[in-house]
Amino acid sequence: MSDKLIRKTSIGGQALIEGIMMRGPEKMACAYLKGDKSIDVEVKDSVLPGKKYKILGLPLIRGVANMLYSLASGMKCLTDSATRAEDFVEEEPSKFDKWLESKFKPETLEKWMIGISMVFGILLPIFMYIFLPSFLTSFLRPFISHHILLNLIEGAIKMVIFILFLWSTSHMKEMQRVYAFHGAEHKTIYAYEKGLPLTVENVRPQSRFHPRCGTSFLFVVLFIGILVYSFLTWDNIWMRIGLRLVCLPLLVGITYEINRLVGRTDNWLSRIVRAPGLWVQRLTVFEPDDDMIRAAIAAMNEVIPSDDSDKW
């Protein structure tokens, strides 16, 4: 079977709880694997911000806009998949759940849950990868005066936290299954990029590691951040944290353009750039079973456009 890619697609996805979301240039599909092994697929319109507003499609800006859009839509799909999974578990609602259901309409409650999840999803990384490393490194300030060295140490702490976080989640039984769906997503996209008919037999042998993976994206954001932040001073911890927050959109924009370039080219330089991210994926991308692959194929088939608008 040839490993040559005949197309570079913009189609991407996300692993869900017992399912997979695929997003194309016009549609987004969520395929859920049910208890009887059947697959339920939901399809919605999905247009990136840059398609609606030209300014959000400009280099650097599009990375931030697309990330926020992906975070919001991905959180919605993840919440829906969690709700579906709860439906298979016969468990008496808690008093708190009953109180919420009595006070809020289901639609309102869902919006609040998604909003809270988004805020938490933004604040937790800020705490883990901006505040905590700066706070820990500040204890070295009396012993190390060179700000570049301090920034490099802070960057190393960020990387350690990142790897330990991924390593810990990879050992959680529930997350291992989610990460296997992640593998099915990557394999299906690879099969499509090779122009193969989307069957379980064609998808199964594909690599589970893909250069456009979100794990690789986060790793590159951290790495680029180490380079950029190394030139910032170490006068005040709150000023440092503020500067890092201000620079964060720029880092996301730069990383998006790098990932876009690496995803479109295949030479020695692009292979070097994407190699660390592919290695880190070993912690978040597991081998899927055939049912997971079937779910990924079902979602993929719904978002493939009839024209060539999916090209990366």
CA of 307: how far to CAs of 24, 57, 303, 304, in Å? 12, 20, 11, 9
Looking at residue 146, the DSSP 8-state letter turns out to be: -
H helices, E strands: number in the chain: 12, 4
Q: What is the pLDDT of residue 125?
A: 79
CA 166 vs CA 169, 170, 215, 220: distances in Å: 5, 6, 9, 15
pTM above 0.95, yes or no: no
Amino acid identity of 10? S
Q: Please state, in angstroms and as integers, the Cα–Cα distance from residue 261 to each residue in 42, 66, 272, following that order.
A: 31, 16, 13
Q: Which residues pair with 33 in a beta bridge?
A: 39
What's the CA gap between 165 and 146, in Å, rounded? 29
Burial of 124 (0-12, 13-18, 19+ CB in 10 A): exposed
Q: Which stretches in the chain have pLDDT values below 50?
A: 1, 89, 96, 99-100
CB neighbours of residue 273 within 10 Å: 18
Cα distances from 101 to residues 80, 116, 124, 192, 206, in angstroms, run: 17, 17, 27, 43, 45
65's CB contacts (< 8 A; 6+ apart) are 48, 49, 50, 56, 57
Q: What is the CA radius of gyration of the chain?
A: 21
